[in-house]
Amino acid sequence: MSETKQVIIQMKGIRKSFYIGQPHELEILHGIGLSVRKGEFVSIVGASGSGKSTLMNIIGALDRPTSGEYILDGVDISKAGDGELSGIRNRKIGFVFQTFNLIPRTSALKNVELPMLYSGTSKTLRTARAKELLEIVEMGERMSHQPSELSGGQKQRVAIARAMANDPAIILADEPTGALDSETGRLVMDLFHKLHREQGKTIVLITHNQELALETERILTLRDGNFISDEKGGQV
């Protein structure tokens, strides 16, 4: 009696090549296929040079595949123009970076509001929602603090709230605990789990850390531009 959850990411035959000034192009991804359902918490694991950054950029609509199909939340964006991709990133993708990337000299509240600014949400709605999200990540008391006044873990939590601002189709986290000590990293991972369980968020975690990957529902291992395994995880 399993509900057939909607497929959020459907990738087929994704290839990515870079022209590096030589007669031959360098192909990084060799016809990858990927499908992620709504509400899944998956991780993509790979070592340096496996192509996971390239794949992440395509999933996150920062880049286009050289060939192949990428259907995100029902729309094929593999051939979308730059302007379109901006809009998709704004509404469908919630990025969480290893280096947090909060805007300096700006309050946590304003940081969380940022995606909503670019989507044209009104000021009152923006502020209300930003406050709500900061409460969820337990940063409600520090909403007027600037990034320079926050610890690494706190910054990451603000970044996660920001990622959820426009209620995106997926949260795309790139080594979210990479710059944090194990204790703080633990707290952040707990937050991801909480969001997954309680809010039903779809989370794609990119990491080279096997242990971390094992915590997620599903582990996809990437090597030399191809998926070599798709296993169940779930070991918290």
Partner 1 sequence: MDFIENIRLAVTGLLSNKMRALLTMLGIIIGIAAVITIVTLGDAITSTVSSTMEEMGGKNITVLLEEKNPEVVLPGMSQTLGVSMGFDIMGNMAESDLISDEMIGQLWDRYGDEIQALSMIEQVGNGKAQDGRAYSNLSVSGVNGDYEKSESLTLLEGRFINDRDIDRAVNVAVISDKTAKAIFGQADKALAQEIKVHMDTEIQTYTVVGIYEYEELVMPMTTQVAEEDVRTAFYIPLSTARKQTGAPDGCKSFTLMAKQNIQPSELADKVESFFDIYYRDNVNYRCSATSMDTIIEQMDDIMGTVSVAIAVIAGISLLVGGIGVMNIMLVSITERTREIGTRKALGATNGNIRIQFVVEAVIICLIGGIIGIILGILCGVFGSSILGYPAFPGVGIILIAVTFSMLIGVFFGYYPANKAARMDPIEALRYE
Which parts of this chain interact with partner 1 (CB under 8 A)?
Answer: 57, 60, 62-63, 82-83, 86-87, 89-91, 95, 97, 99, 101, 103-106, 114-115, 117-120, 123, 162, 166
Distance of closest approach, residue 155 Cβ to partner 1, in angstroms? 13
In angstroms, the CA 164 to CA 115 distance is 9
* Chain centroid, CA 149 distance in Å: 25
Q: Which residues contact 130 (CB under 8 A, 6 or more apart)?
A: 109, 110, 112, 113, 116, 143, 161, 165
Report yes or no: 84 and 61 within 8 Å, Cβ to Cβ. Answer: no
Task: Taking the CA atoms of 82, 83, 87 and 88 in sequence, report the sign of the dihedral they define.
Answer: negative
* Chain centroid, CA 109 distance in Å: 20
Distance of closest approach, residue 235 Cβ to partner 1, in angstroms? 31
Q: Torsion angle of alpha carbons 158, 162, 113, 87, nearest 10°?
A: 160
Q: Which residues contact 177 (CB under 8 A, 6 or more apart)?
A: 156, 184, 185, 188, 189, 209, 212
Nearer to partner 1, 119 or 210 (CB): 119
Distance of closest approach, residue 63 Cβ to partner 1, in angstroms? 6
Distance of closest approach, residue 114 Cβ to partner 1, in angstroms? 6
Nearer to partner 1, 106 or 229 (CB): 106
Nearer to partner 1, 164 or 219 (CB): 164
Nearer to partner 1, 8 or 112 (CB): 112
Nearer to partner 1, 45 or 96 (CB): 96
Task: Taking the CA atoms of 28, 170, 45 and 2 in sequence, report the sign of the dihedral they define.
Answer: negative
Distance of closest approach, residue 91 Cβ to partner 1, in angstroms? 7
Distance of closest approach, residue 115 Cβ to partner 1, in angstroms? 5
Nearer to partner 1, 13 or 87 (CB): 87
| Both tokens assigned to 220 | 């996809």
